[in-house]
Chain A
Amino acid sequence: MRRLKLVGFILVASILLLPPGAFALTAEEIIERGDENKYLEQVRMETELIIKDGKRELTKEMIIYIAGDSVVVEFTNPDDKGTKYLKIGDDLWVLFPNAGEPVKISNQMLERTMVSGDFSYQDLMEQEQLLELYEFEIVGEESYQGRDSYLIEGSAKEGVETSYSHRRIWVDQERFIYLKEELYSQQGRLLRTVEAEEVEQFGERWYVTESVINYKLRASSQTVFRIKAIDFEPEISEDTFKL
């Protein structure tokens, strides 16, 4: 009995004496949990896009459907009502309400900013989970917006197609939300930042419902992306993704 107590004591002591990082998550595990929150297999969202450029402010309303790697963005604000962006596989199409045929957005257009905002068409095209695209490492832990976060850097995996060769991500340690992302060019220049402004819990999933995107190469420009309603288990007919 005394021997059993001794073994128990040694075991508890060993656990207590382990270095603090011994049970910490790896960068991949953190991003995996982040991806679990962020990436949606199927969803319907009613959203709002507020594009600010100096004194100019433009609001666009959209309904977004996602199913696998297909995405439909349908504008509902009066000026753009009926305009749709449709991503099927690697192709992006735009349908204007009064034009008969959909127009394929050419490769040279993909790098341009979408609807004069701060993100590009190419950003819309990228639906893969981050873990598939980057090698990650934890570079620190710091407080961001008053929340403890992991600072993680990602470098694009060799042979994988991704828009940004380098990313820095602040991941909320408790909710595994990407609080801030910095997106860099191959040359190492900061191109865009995406910051979470509002986060809500839906069942077990934490989800960013308002984020601010900044294209860092254009002064006084900012785009707010706000989710007004979200359905994680929508019924989306196959026709939604047909041209």
Chain B
Amino acid sequence: MFLVRLAVRNLTRNKKRTLIVAMIIAFGIVFFVMFNSLVLGLERSYFDNVIDFESGHLQLVDDDYWPRQDELPLHNLITLDEQLQQNLSQVPNLKSYSPQIRFSANINNGLDELPITAVGVDGERKKEVFKLEEHLIAGELFTADQSGAVLGSSLAELMGFELGDYLLLVFTTAEGVFNTLEVEIVGVVNTPNPKVNDKQVYIPYQKASGALNTEDKATEIVMRLESDTSIMEAKEFIKNNIVAEIDKYAVYSWRDSAQDVVAMTEVQDIENRIITSLFLLIAAIGIINVIILAALERIKEIGMMKAMGMKEWQIIKIFMIEGLGIGVIGSIIGSLMGGVGVYWLVNYGLDLIEPDFGLPVVERTYGVWNLSAFIFVIAFTLIVSLVASIFPAYWAVCKEPVDALGGVN
């Protein structure tokens, strides 16, 4: 207890030094927890954007369609017949499902044209599966019996389209015959997903099906579940009850359909780990450096303690308790400051990503709370502070008291 009291006294005796070292540790903790919060928030945004605007939670497709889906073929399509509807209605935790037909087209304004992805959707069902309606900035989402087109705001701006204008889609049918479709623009959306804003046009499912000669078949049936946690259960159910009956069908989760995004985030995750490791290494070197300097400054004091009969291990212990004390003070300050920073990120977010960054997110990036990041960085700080104090203390106590008192290094 004496050693603890002595260590605490040493810490309070040099308030300025203790505070400076603790603040260095605290800023490290703040940086770490805020960076971690932002990275996880960014990742969450990517995934939400894929689920909310591209793939839903699950997709039922023809197995031969799946490997070629990027080419947007109009072969190996899926028929949503009564039997399938009945089976789908039994999927556990299913909120809604919607057939859609995606196809490659050129959007034309009479002066020029651009390649886009057109999506034939049932407007009513779409509302329940995707979050398009929440992001309408003009007009409305068409219903099942309505005509019209909904397109992304960037695409509308680029092509000079406004609500009520007619756009022309040029595409080839399932048989490879050129066809055109003139549709009135009834809605414009501005979503957090740049793919939707820049490259997609939604038209009614029946209209698309008729123009493509696809006989009411869909490229996929997109499903939205009540929560993210029920994906595996629903997937298993579909495998066992639908795919087992129609073996040319297959079910894929949003992770399967967004492999590019998942791969990108995995790479990013590795980058983040490297950055974090470097940061922790620098922080550890900082802590070690500060404690070494503190030990050097007090070399005469150590000589004095030895001359007064203090044992070597007791001196080392004092240094370790001091190191731990600095670590605790730094962790408390850092956690409080980091908490405020993360709160700010969670509620107000940051403008981080340029629209052309290549990842499906354009809006402000919001942080997320991650308690494990706090626990990890505090534990790391305490261990480093503790371990870092051993070496300089050991080095100092190895000196003869005469040498130490004489200031011989």
Contact = CB atoms under 8 A, between A and B. Distances in A.
B177 A164 contact: yes
B79 to A, nearest CB: 21
B172 interface: yes
A185 B106 contact: no
A160 to B, nearest CB: 9
B173 A218 contact: no
Interface stretch (A11-19, A21-29, A102-110, A222-230): A102-110
Contacts of B106: 111-112
Interface string B98-114: 00000011101011110
A111 B112 contact: no
Given A110-B172, A161-B175, A189 B180 contact: yes
Interface string A182-198: 01011101010000000
Interface string B152-181: 000000000000000010111101111111
B70 to A, nearest CB: 8
A191 B108 CA distance: 12
A185 B108 contact: no
Contacts, number: 74
Contact of B168 (A107, A161, A165, A217): A217
B211 interface: yes
Interface in B216-260: none
A191 B180 contact: yes
B111 A219 contact: yes
Nearest to B74: A107
Interface string A160-181: 0111110000000000000000
A122 interface: yes
Contacts of A108: 71-72, 104, 115
B176 A186 contact: no
B165 to A, nearest CB: 15
A200 B110 CA distance: 35
Given A106-B71, A112-B106, A122-B172, A185 B115 contact: no
Nearest to B75: A107
Contacts of A163: 172, 176-178
B73 interface: yes
A49 interface: no
B108 A122 contact: no
B104 A111 contact: yes
Interface of B: 70-73, 104-106, 108, 110-113, 115, 168, 170-173, 175-181, 211, 213
Interface of A: 106-108, 110-112, 122, 156, 161-165, 183, 185-187, 189, 191, 217-220
Given A107-B104, A163-B177, A187-B211, 13 more contacts: A106-B71, A107-B73, A108-B71, A108-B115, A111-B104, A111-B178, A163-B178, A165-B177, A185-B180, A186-B180, A187-B180, A217-B108, A218-B113
